[in-house]
Chains A and B, each alone.
Chain A
Amino acid sequence: QSVLTQPPSVSAAPGQTVTISCSGSSSNIGKNFVSWYQQFPGTAPKLLIYDNFKRHSGIPDRFFGSKSGVEATLTITGLQTGDEAHYYCGTWDTSLGEGRVFGGGTKLSVL
C-alpha cells in the first residue's frame, strides 16, 4: 500500500481538462513539497512538477500543480492523445525513517 493515494485511472476526451489527485496526511503532503512524474509505457519517469506547482524545464503550461492541506492535484488542460501515460506523485514523509514516498500511480486515458 502506498503512503500517498492516487486514483488508479482517469479518462477524458481530447481538448478537455483532467485532474489527478494525490491524497496524503499531515506527515507528508501536509508539510512537504509535492512533485509529479509522467511515465510513458516502456520508458523512464520524467519530472513534470516540483515544489507543488513549479514546472520542470520544457514542460508546457497545460500542466498545473497545486496543493491544499493534505491533498495535491495535477491538472492537465487541453488534453492531447500524447498525454496518455501514468502519473505519479511524490513527497517526503516525516513520520518514516526513510521519507521518500510515491503514490501508486494513475493511468490517464485520453479517449
Chain B
Amino acid sequence: QVQLVESGGGLVKPGGSLRLSCAVSGFTFHNYYMSWIRQAPGKGLEWLSFISPGSSDIHYADSVKGRFTVSRDNNRNSLYLEMDSLRAEDTAVYYCVRDIERVGVTLYFDFWGQGILVTVSS
C-alpha cells in the first residue's frame, strides 16, 4: 500500500536549519508530482512547495520562498525539504503529500504522510 514517512523534524532555534526527508513506497515515485504542506498548531492547512517528477518544475509559497528548498531523489524514492532561516512562525507539523496534477493545475492531494513536528524556539 502507499506509504509516506517523514523524518528529520525536531526543535531548532530561530535562524537555524533543518532538513526533512520523506521515504515513499507503494507507488512509482518517479511518475508523480509531490508537495509539502504544513499545519501550525490549531490552524489550517498551508501548501508550501511542489516538485515535478523530474525536478524540472518547482514552486514555493511566498511564505517560504528563498528560505526553503525542495528536492527529490527518484533512485531512493525520497522527497526532501531543506529549511533555512527558520522562524517561530514556521512551527508546524509538516506533511509530505502526493500531488495529482492535470494541465499544470493541482487537482488534489491523494496520499499524505503521518506528519513530522518542527518546533522553532529559543
Interface, chain A (partner B; CB < 8 A):
2, 32-33, 35, 37, 43-47, 50-51, 56, 88, 90, 92, 97-105
Contacts and interface: CB of A to CB of B under 8 A. Distances in A.
B109 A35 contact: yes
Nearest to A51: B107
A88 B43 CA distance: 11
Interface in B82-121: 95, 100, 105-115
Interface of B: 35, 44-47, 50, 59-62, 95, 100, 105-115
Contacts of A103: 44
Nearest to B61: A98
Nearest to A56: B110
Contacts of B108: 33, 35, 47, 50-51, 90
Contacts, number: 61
Contacts of A44: 95, 112-115
A98 B60 contact: yes
Contact of A98 (B45, B59, B100): B59
Given A47-B112, A50-B100, 18 more contacts: A33-B107, A35-B107, A43-B114, A45-B45, A46-B112, A47-B109, A47-B111, A50-B107, A50-B108, A51-B108, A56-B110, A88-B45, A98-B59, A100-B47, A102-B44, A102-B45, A102-B47, A105-B44
A44 B110 CA distance: 12
A92 B105 contact: yes
Give the 9 A-B residue pairs with the shortest CB-CB distance, closest first: A35-B108, A100-B47, A50-B108, A44-B112, A102-B45, A105-B44, A92-B105, A104-B44, A100-B106
